[in-house]
């Protein structure tokens, strides 16, 4: 026996050695460190979510020599908004409808592709879906992707072969997934979205990464008390709700921010807004409505509640806390604190002690008019009177787009600064004239319980900036203006460079200390994805997915001003290195819709107003507010399709363009189509008149 074992051992070692000659074992130990920077193995680089790379071959001294190493064009792609991963010289990324690719990181050669066939799986859920996905997760040789129709799919990272897939939502409900899965301790976790489309009750589920079997699930808000609570946390949360909230779902969906904190073996959730947004409907007697808009810490092994901190008690503005949660050791007067940093939509920058959820500091990083400040004694905001549209109407900063949206921030332990893609924009909240008591949750269409996206957003309604923020002093160190307003996430490197793309298609490198602009290149299309960096054979690369997309595009003229019209500009992966000499592939100039003039069409204002109500429910998400498309779908003001009832019907009701992502609305009647026609012509005419007046 002993002999046999001795003889076999070297053979086994040899076989293992051959199979994994250069393979990095991406496990918890690996992800807990920055490593040497060769790989970008997780969404936020490593479990800290800092998006800090220890590579410094490209640095402030030589970044001017950065040039294109290779480009991969991807015809047919639309919204490339995710963060690619780089492991052992291979890039992995998800694209439109979670289409997944593996590419040689040195040459751009396609190694394998995997199509999760989302449109076929989705059915009617196509109508509530974003086409975009924020990226895959990598763990011990597996790549796990999420699909917008609600699945997790595990692939063999070497071959792209599917290992398992599991449905994470009830497909009869209007939930969807756009977020990246996260991995820890042989599990993979995912949340979902749906707060605006359904009586949604948010939850996260952890699955065994080997088998796809459910390990645990945690609900964010309590269900109907009559059916009993899942756990003590829900029992506690239920005391902060009033009325019959469970009929409206409550919300809290975790659609983005999830961080695994290895030092406390806890999962930190950034939870979503209320379903519906309007608290007067959801919880008419008020209350904090736990665990909406919170950071919730769970035991990573069991999913049991540990602690929470709520950023917006009783939320009513869509101010979710779904933004990224970044871990760092911060120095507070001689003491090192294991902190988390969080810059949610509500405009405050929070530093929290991860050991117990204690708030250390919170300051405004942009214009905020819903609250004066956060009281550090109670940890609660001091609200400004009237902000809750108590009288039926209020203009409040920030807007539902947020002072910071999901585009991830980064943190450099070297400069001690956080780099935030910040937005300054007001939101107008109106529920005057709505019958709040009669309001019903939507089912597969948009209705947040407050008037929403019923007018075009003017192109100068908002400003944006890249903000370098000192999290300890809680103050701005420098900022650079950005085009309004949907700019990508940031990355920072040991080379003391901050990289960030822009809505206008520029990819820029800044000096991380001073904010000086050191290098830039035009990518030929609007950017929404955060860049990454990695190295192969000792050479450092910077990779950028080029693809305009996401919820910010529904803001009509605000998004359309950059000219990234539907279907016109290329989608690609660009990779840069020092001395790179590859020519930038061509791209057409910015393009703008030309609304059709149809003089014979007599617009009936009453029908148009009814058309607007239908449009806001079912079309605005993709075709844009005020019928001005930001690029997700064709601009209907210039489309000939709505001009005839037959043509309009073939696309909208019969599903003639289903395979290309235009959902089927079988329930829409001829009368409703007619109302939509009046609204579209009214908007087309208004834009023509405005253009003529200039
Ligand atoms: C989930 C996103 C989404 C929603 C919601 C949506 N559309 Fe579309 N729509 C698209 C996309 C994408 C296309 C382009 C498909 C293609 O490339 O052929 C499209 C195409 C169209 C076209 C054809 C335009 C042309 O000139 O080719 C019409 C008309 C249209 N949509 C009307 C509507 C109406 C009316 C609604 C609401 C009832 C609606 N859509 C809701 C995504 C959407």
In this predicted model, what pLDDT tens digit does every residue of 582-616 receive, in sequence order? 999 999 999 999 999 999 999 999 999 999 999 99
* pLDDT over 60 at 217, yes or no: yes
Query: Cα 254 to the chain's mean position, in Å?
Result: 11
Average pLDDT, integer, range 380-389? 98
Cα dihedral 557, 558, 561, 563 sign: negative
Q: pLDDT tens, 426-460?
A: 999 999 999 999 999 999 999 999 998 789 999 99
Instruction: Tell me if 119 CB under 6 Å of ligand 1.
Output: no
Bond before 286 cis per omega within 30 degrees: no
Q: How confident is the model at residue 11 (pLDDT cuts 50, 70, 90)?
A: very low
CA-to-CA separations, 119 to 181, 214, 283, 586, 591, in angstroms, rounded: 20, 25, 36, 30, 28
Q: Ligand 1, closest atom to CA 567?
A: 17
CA distance linking residue 674 with residue 671, whole number of Å: 5
If you take atom 21 of ligand 1, which residue's CA is the nearest one? 662
Q: How confident is the model at residue 15 (pLDDT cuts 50, 70, 90)?
A: very low
* pLDDT over 70 at 528, yes or no: yes
Best of 622, 637, 674, 677 to mutate for ligand 1, by most ligand atoms within 8 A of CB?
622
CA distance linking residue 260 with residue 209, whole number of Å: 15
Instruction: Tell me if 633 CB under 6 Å of ligand 1.
Output: yes
Instruction: Tell me if 660 CB under 6 Å of ligand 1.
Output: yes
pLDDT of residue 621: 94
Bond before 398 cis per omega within 30 degrees: yes
Q: What angle do CA 164, 168, 174 make, to 5 degrees?
A: 135
CB 197 within 8 A of CB 128: yes
- What's the residue count for the chain? 694
Q: Calculate what percentage of the chain has a pLDDT beyond 70.
A: 97
**Span from the CA of 662 to the centroid of ligand 1 (angstroms):** 5
Q: What torsion do the CA atoms of 476, 477, 481, 483 make, to the nearest 10 degrees? A: -60
Nearest to 95 by CA among 599, 490, 478, 661: 661
Best of 610, 662, 668, 674 to mutate for ligand 1, by most ligand atoms within 8 A of CB?
662
* pLDDT over 80 at 12, yes or no: no
Q: How confident is the model at residue 350 (pLDDT cuts 50, 70, 90)?
A: very high
Q: pLDDT tens, 612-671?
A: 999 999 999 999 999 999 999 999 999 999 999 999 999 999 999 999 999 999 999 999
Q: How confident is the model at residue 125 (pLDDT cuts 50, 70, 90)?
A: confident
Average pLDDT, integer, range 151-162? 98
CB 160 within 8 A of CB 94: no
Instruction: Tell me if 549 CB under 6 Å of ligand 1.
Output: no
Q: Which residues of 242-262 are buried (b: 16+ CB within 10 A; e: fewer)?
A: ebebbebbbbbbbbbbbbbbb
CB 92 within 8 A of CB 102: yes
Q: The tokens of 144 are what? A: 């796990």
First vs last Cα of the chain: how many Å apart?
A: 91
pLDDT of residue 5: 40
Q: pLDDT tens, 221-235?
A: 999 999 999 999 999
Q: How confident is the model at residue 9 (pLDDT cuts 50, 70, 90)?
A: very low
**Span from the CA of 44 to the centroid of ligand 1 (angstroms):** 34
If you take atom 37 of ligand 1, which residue's CA is the nearest one? 619
pLDDT of residue 34: 87
CB 491 within 8 A of CB 545: no
Instruction: Tell me if 222 CB under 6 Å of ligand 1.
Output: no
pLDDT of residue 673: 98
CA distance linking residue 283 with residue 152, whole number of Å: 33
**Span from the CA of 333 to the centroid of ligand 1 (angstroms):** 56
Q: Calculate what percentage of the chain has a pLDDT beyond 90.
A: 94
CB 653 within 8 A of CB 668: yes
556: left (phi over 0), alpha (psi -120 to 50) or beta: left
Q: Ligand 1, closest atom to CA 638?
A: 26
If you take atom 2 of ligand 1, which residue's CA is the nearest one? 622
CB 365 within 8 A of CB 403: yes
If you take atom 20 of ligand 1, which residue's CA is the nearest one? 662
CA distance linking residue 630 with residue 623, whole number of Å: 7
Instruction: Tell me if 662 CB under 6 Å of ligand 1.
Output: yes
Bond before 291 cis per omega within 30 degrees: yes
Instruction: Tell me if 296 CB under 6 Å of ligand 1.
Output: no
CA distance linking residue 43 with residue 408, whole number of Å: 10
Residue 585: other Cβ atoms inside 10 A? 14
Q: The tokens of 105 are what? A: 């990181």
Best of 634, 637, 674 to mutate for ligand 1, by most ligand atoms within 8 A of CB?
634
Q: How many CA atoms lie within 13 A of 678 on its CB side?
A: 18
The overall average pLDDT reported for the chain is 95
556 burial type by CB count under 10 A (0-12 exposed, 13-18 middle, 19+ buried): buried
CB 424 within 8 A of CB 179: no
Q: Ligand 1, closest atom to CA 647?
A: 29
Q: pLDDT tens, 49-62?
A: 999 999 999 999 99
**Span from the CA of 642 to the centroid of ligand 1 (angstroms):** 10
Q: Ligand 1, closest atom to CA 639?
A: 26
pLDDT of residue 333: 82
**In sequence order, which residues have a C-beta less than 8 Å from that of residue 669 and are 6 or more positions away?**
none
**Span from the CA of 194 to the centroid of ligand 1 (angstroms):** 20
* pLDDT over 80 at 328, yes or no: yes
pLDDT of residue 141: 98
Q: Ligand 1, closest atom to CA 128?
A: 1
If you take atom 8 of ligand 1, which residue's CA is the nearest one? 662
Instruction: Tell me if 617 CB under 6 Å of ligand 1.
Output: no
């Amino acid at each position: 026996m002993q002999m046999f074992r001795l003889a076999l051992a070297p053979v086994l070692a040899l076989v293992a050695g051959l199979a994994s000659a250069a393979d990095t074992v991406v496990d918890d130990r690996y992800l807990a460190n920055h490593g040497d920077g060769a790989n970008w193995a997780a969404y936020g680089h490593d479990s800290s979510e800092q998006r800090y790379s220890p590579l410094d071959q490209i640095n402030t001294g030589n970044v001017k020599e950065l040039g294109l190493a290779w480009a991969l064009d991807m015809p047919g792609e639309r919204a490339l908004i995710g963060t690619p991963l780089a492991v052992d010289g291979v890039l992995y990324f998800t694209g439109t409808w979670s289409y997944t690719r593996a590419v040689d990181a040195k040459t751009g050669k396609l190694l394998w592709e995997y199509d999760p066939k989302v449109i076929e799986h989705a059915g009617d859920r196509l109508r509530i879906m974003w086409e975009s996905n924020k990226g895959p997760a990598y763990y011990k040789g597996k790549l796990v992707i999420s699909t917008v129709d609600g699945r997790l799919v595990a692939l063999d990272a070497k071959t792209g072969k599917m290992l398992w897939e599991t449905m994470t939502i009830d497909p009869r409900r209007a939930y969807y997934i756009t977020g990246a899965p996260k991995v820890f301790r042989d599990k993979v976790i995912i949340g979902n979205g749906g707060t605006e489309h359904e009586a949604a009750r948010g939850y996260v589920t952890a699955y065994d990464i080997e088998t796809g079997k459910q390990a645990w699930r945690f609900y964010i808000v309590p269900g109907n008390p009559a059916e009993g609570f899942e756990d003590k946390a829900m029992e506690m949360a239920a005391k902060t709700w009033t009325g019959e909230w469970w009929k409206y779902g409550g919300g809290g969906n975790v659609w983005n921010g999830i961080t695994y904190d290895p030092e406390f073996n806890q999962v930190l959730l950034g939870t979503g807004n209320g379903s519906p947004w309007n608290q007067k409907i959801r919880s008419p007697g008020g209350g904090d409505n736990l665990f909406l808009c919170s950071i919730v810490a769970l035991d990573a092994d069991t999913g049991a509640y540990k602690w929470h901190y709520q950023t917006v008690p009783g939320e009513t503005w869509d101010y979710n806390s779904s933004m990224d949660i970044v871990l760092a050791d911060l120095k507070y007067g001689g003491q090192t604190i294991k902190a988390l940093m969080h810059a949610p939509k509500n405009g405050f920058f929070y530093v929290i002690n991860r050991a117990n959820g204690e708030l250390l500091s919170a300051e405004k990083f942009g214009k905020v008019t819903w609250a004066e400040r956060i009281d550090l004694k109670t940890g609660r905001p001091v609200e400004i009177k009237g902000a809750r549209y108590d009288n039926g109407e209020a203009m409040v900063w920030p807007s539902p787009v947020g002072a910071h949206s999901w585009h991830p921030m980064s943190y450099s332990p070297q400069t001690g600064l956080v780099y935030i893609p910040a937005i300054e924009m007001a939101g107008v909240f109106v529920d005057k004239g709505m019958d709040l008591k009669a309001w019903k949750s939507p089912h597969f269409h948009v209705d947040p319980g407050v008037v929403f996206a019923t007018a075009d957003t003017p192109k100068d309604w908002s400003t944006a900036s890249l903000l370098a923020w000192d999290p300890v002093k809680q103050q701005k160190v420098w900022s650079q203006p950005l085009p309004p307003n949907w700019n990508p996430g940031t990355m920072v490197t040991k080379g003391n460079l901050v990289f960030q793309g822009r809505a206008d298609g520029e990819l820029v490198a800044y000096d991380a200390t001073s904010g000086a602009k050191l290098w830039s290149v035009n990518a030929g299309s609007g950017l929404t994805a955060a860049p990454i960096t990695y190295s192969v054979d000792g050479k450092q690369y910077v990779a950028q997915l080029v693809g305009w997309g996401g919820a910010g595009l529904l803001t009509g003229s605000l998004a359309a001003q950059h000219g990234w019209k539907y279907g016109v500009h290329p989608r690609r992966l660009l990779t840069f290195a020092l001395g790179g000499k590859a020519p930038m592939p061509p791209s057409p100039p910015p393009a703008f819709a030309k609304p059709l003039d149809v003089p014979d069409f007599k617009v009936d204002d009453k029908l148009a107003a009814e058309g607007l109500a239908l449009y806001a429910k079912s079309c605005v998400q993709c075709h844009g507010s005020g019928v001005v498309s930001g690029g997700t779908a064709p601009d209907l003001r210039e489309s000939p399709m709505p001009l005839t009832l037959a043509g309009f019907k073939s696309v909208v009701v019969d599903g003639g363009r289903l395979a290309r992502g235009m959902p089927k609305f079988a329930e829409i009647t001829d009368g409703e189509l007619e109302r939509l026609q009046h609204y579209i012509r009214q908007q087309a005419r208004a834009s023509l008149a405005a253009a003529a007046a200039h």
